Structure 1
């Protein structure tokens, strides 16, 4: 079994567990809860016969580093014994993190770590990056973020978690420094014509309905895509791979998420110099005219509702705002195949 402390640092396993513990919402952790955290910190341990001994060694190291205090009550049902409960120090206590950070010979890229306000778990994770920067030599490969995360920390989602912390910022950790990138998911697309418009539809059933409807009408839509809900916030970057798309029209539910998703995607494409994401005006007008509001949603305050509805044009924004503040929604499925066969082609006005 590897010693949990190497020189002045924790082993990667103990460091990952420290990071999990430091994000725990309470100061006390039962043994059952500790096993859950350990499974996230070291998923490869699930089939390892030394799993309990490895956890015991990590807990001992973390207690020595001041990250936790172990209870004197032990679970002795299986050897080695494990504490029945761990206690985290108060949030204002920095324990030995500062001393640990000062003792590390940091690479120039991580020199800021010596004086930053960090936790023991953060210092240990940064030491892993420090070693990787030192040892990678002439390796210039740039690989997807979850592959890099698995390589560095033994868990594919660690970098995703770190990106939401103070460790990631200009002058600190960046994807560029880690020689990685966020691979955007593919956008499911079907060609329906030769026009310059990409019509993105939030939900699968309405995607199918509109795809069939477009096959029987004249329009300027070249492609129709299934946005897959919130996935579109990332998959919108795949638009750059589609030929001859100069206009992105979006149609989704009239609810908080249905309006937040395209607004967020619009900001993403703007930063990447892709075609703008705008509402499919005719389809939203059809939805408002024929859809039946469904109550039961959490009411949204007026300012937030105004911000969300502001992505729509004035005609649709007012009723959308009223829906949000009144705790109601209209699902886009109200624009059904039956409805499309019974109305005029006005819904195609901005798609032609």
Structure 2
């Protein structure tokens, strides 16, 4: 059974718990720390309950058997606590000795589970291929590259390989990205089309776009605002665009290609136009890079909503629509710092 990213994160949190019984408040906080949009989105309760149901179906935890052990003040009901399975020590075949690179020797002494060895093998391959000489990039970009999941490092950072200090983000040449300012103005060459506001849905991509925009502007690229859309809050946050100095004459957006990632800018576009602001348009050159990267994840197929959500993407609508119908999503972290540096001339087309 394939778990969603949120369910995997909660599974890691449960596995690391010192107690068998884990209160819902602890899991709720862990979910919000993993995906900050859950702090404000109306569907947070539903998303968290769905993740818990996934874990229960997979046998990774049990829900209370009594209806009185559920919070029923809102739908869906949430358990007041869950219970992880008892940890059992199982007899194993002796594992063949593995000689790890010097940087992984301490982690190699700690690891004793197959999932931990798999992580170390991935890191060893990264280092062997010259990873230590790579630039430091936002953690979710490196996570997508190494593990095929942009949020996997969020979960791994809670496990003993990282909390012990044996593994670090610096070793993987990446860094945590704090919640950024809403937008920053990057001085550069005047754009005859009007000053643009380039918005990224996720804050790790925002960090990379901002850095590459600065580097490109220093070489003669256009001046523009670069902003972080704060996920599902952007349809309301877009109304603050008139506060930007200098005035943003164009609003261009780049996000994930999945149902939510397309619904957000479509809703923001309606808000903007309704308020007399410039329309929210897709950053087509960046979406072209995203589709070309072909780093897809499985997602729940979408039927009726697919056509309406995909229309916002204009010339790429058919490709987005087919991805939604077929059950695939494209995380925007695939267009990361290193790719943007290599293809930074696309910024002139935005």
Q: TM-score, normalised by structure 1?
A: 0.45
Tell me: higher relative CO, structure 1 or 2? Use CA pairs within 8 A at least 6 residues apart.
2
Q: Max radius of gyration: which structure?
A: 1
Q: TM-score, normalised by structure 2?
A: 0.45
